[in-house]
Amino acid sequence: MKSVFILSRTASQLKVETILMFTFSGILVFYCLNPYTINPVEWMLYTKYLVPIGMAVCLLFSFRLHVSLFTSTPIHWIAMNNLMPKPQKMIFCQVLIALACFLALQLALAGIIAGAIVVNYSAGWDLFVFLFPLYLIHFLLPFLWAWLIGLSTSDVYAYHSPKKAMLLLGVLVLWIIVLFSLEYRDPSFSLWVKHRWPYIDPLFSLTFQKERVLIKLAYILSSIAVYGVFRNMRHSFAGLTASVMIMLFVTFFLQHIQSKFELDGILLANDVKLYHQIKDQAQVGNITLNGHWRIKG
């Protein structure tokens, strides 16, 4: 209960960040609930705009929240005066509670969006079960990545050095910018945002989702590894060099894995045919798709 009280008090002091977080959540729901769409998964197109903005909002909120938590709890002074046997445990509980609240918010947004789309299309439970995990894959995972980056850099900021924390934050943000720039320039490099043709075939939502989740989790775990290496290095230059090497290796390795799975090459080839035939008002039944088209759970 003490951890919950401290966390709520700290969050109440971040009025601007809290308003920004809930405002973005409202905008996200508003755009994803467009009632004039012809496809129940058309909201995935909005990842192109909402994911980068949402990651920035989540990172800012997470960083400010955890810095306030860490700096407002003098664990060294508490340990020296024997006021609490394990003050680090209280900090850990606060971090877990904050993460649980963040995940609860994202699950609520997923439920609201999936439920409203089901009502809009007069569909049933099966569509809800189909849409709910799609939100988790395309929105929750990138937002969780940003949340963990904010947590990692705030730890370095509070317990090591603000300059070292800003250097770590700069490296991780630069990494994200490079990944997103690759996706915006090359439609085949599509993992975090949907940079595809205006038409989305409903079958697309069923393809390669497990592989996408695994690759996204690999990026998240790699950023945690970068944080661990950078945090334990005494010299910032050595930590920076090791971090950059890890990020380069992970990026090239995962890009190789992604191209090996052909996550977008096959789909993009069919997208072009579908898009141009629909644009010319041709009959969809006459489309000859790539022979390599396949559905993978």
Estimate the crossing angle of helix 236-261 against helix 162-185, to 10 degrees: 20
- DSSP-derived letter for residue 264 is T
8 Å CB contact between 67 and 154: yes
- b/e map 32-48, b = 16+ CB within 10 Å: bbeeebeebbbbbbbbb
What pLDDT, on the 0 to 100 scale, is given for residue 289? Answer: 45
What pLDDT, on the 0 to 100 scale, is given for residue 106? Answer: 95
Q: Is the pLDDT of residue 27 over 50?
A: yes
Of 81-85, 169-173, 208-212, the one with minimum mean pLDDT is: 81-85
What does the mean pLDDT of the chain come to? 78
Q: Is the pLDDT of residue 279 over 80?
A: no
Q: Is the pLDDT of residue 82 over 80?
A: no
pLDDT band at 291 (very low <50, low <70, confident <90, very high): very low
- Comparing 254 with 205, which gets the higher pLDDT? 254
8 Å CB contact between 272 and 197: yes
Percentages of the chain per state (helix, strand, coil), in multiples of 5: 80, 0, 20
- DSSP-derived letter for residue 195 is -
- b/e map 145-170, b = 16+ CB within 10 Å: bbbbbbbbbbbbbbeeeeebbebbbe
- Comparing 235 with 195, which gets the higher pLDDT? 235
- Comparing 68 with 23, which gets the higher pLDDT? 23
- DSSP-derived letter for residue 287 is -
What pLDDT, on the 0 to 100 scale, is given for residue 112? Answer: 94
- b/e map 77-116, b = 16+ CB within 10 Å: ebeeeeeeeebeebbeebbebbeeebeeebeebbebbbee
**Integer Cα distance of 57 and 9 in angstroms:** 20
